[in-house]
Every structure is written in C-alpha cells, then in structure tokens.
Amino acid sequence: GAVVSQHPSWVICKSGTSVKIECRSLDFQATTMFWYRQFPKQSLMLMATSNEGSKATYEQGVEKDKFLINHASLTLSTLTVTSAHPEDSSFYICSASRGAGYTFGSGTRLTVV
C-alpha cells in the first residue's frame, strides 16, 4: 500500500534555530501534500496545502515566512520551521494525496527549548 515516510520522528532544537521536516511518498507520486499541526489531546489543524512545483497555500493565521513549505517533486515535500520558539513545539504531520486517497506520515514531535 501507499507509504509516506516522515523524518525526523522527533527533534529537539534551541530557540532561534531552524528545523526541517521531510515527507517522502515512497511508492507513489503525491500530487498534493498537506501539513498539519496537532497540539496535545487536540485535533489536527491544517497549516498549508502544497502542490508539486507551485507555492503552498497557507491557512488563515499561519505565518508563511515562519513555516516554509517546499514541494519540489512529486515524492518529496519539506516543512521548515524558521527561528523556532517554544510555542512552536508541537506534533507536525504530513499527508500525501493522490486522487481520492490520503496517506499520513508518522509525525514529527518538535520540542523547542
């Protein structure tokens, strides 16, 4: 079946540094990638939608200069949290879409200290 590999699974970084999270679709080409953020015991909040080769569409209230999304190929999308702060600590999940189906990555736990 379709598999999305998300790395790293967890990361700890210092305030002010940047962190890159990768999502790769291993056995299919993802026309669209969705990036979500999840706070403890809460639902998933859609941050942005990206299509290969074009700029990401960000949801209202999400800072596009802080959360940089690149979808350079049909199998790779990256989310870079720039100048991270403790309030950016969260669980980030990607989801790759091809046609009507969605495949989720296993998530990245980001802790900013």
Partner 1 sequence: GNSVTQMEGPVTLSEEAFLTINCTYTATGYPSLFWYVQYPGEGLQLLLKATKADDKGSNKGFEATYRKETTSFHLEKGSVQVSDSAVYFCALREEGGKLIFGQGTELSVKP
For residues 14-43, which are near partner 1 according to CB under 8 A? 32, 34, 41-43
95 binding partner 1? (CB under 8 A): yes
Rounded distance, CA 59 to CA 111, Å?
Answer: 23
CA angle 108, 103, 35 (to 5 degrees): 45
111 binding partner 1? (CB under 8 A): no
How distant, in Å, are the alpha carbons of 26, 32, 59, 64 from that of 109? 21, 22, 21, 20
6 binding partner 1? (CB under 8 A): yes
Q: Do 20 and 5 meet the contact criterion of CB atoms below 8 Å apart?
A: no
Among 44, 62, 68, 76, binds partner 1 (CB under 8 A): 44
Among 67, 77, 105, 110, binds partner 1 (CB under 8 A): 105
Q: Which stretch binds partner 1 (CB under 8 A): 12-20, 67-75, 76-84, 90-98?
A: 90-98
CA angle 10, 39, 34 (to 5 degrees): 75
49 binding partner 1? (CB under 8 A): yes
Q: Taking Cα atoms as reference points, which of 10, 45, 7, 24 lies closest to residue 96?
A: 24
The residues that touch partner 1, with contacts defined as CB under 8 A, are: 4, 6, 32, 34, 41-44, 46, 49, 93, 95, 97, 100-102, 104-107, 109
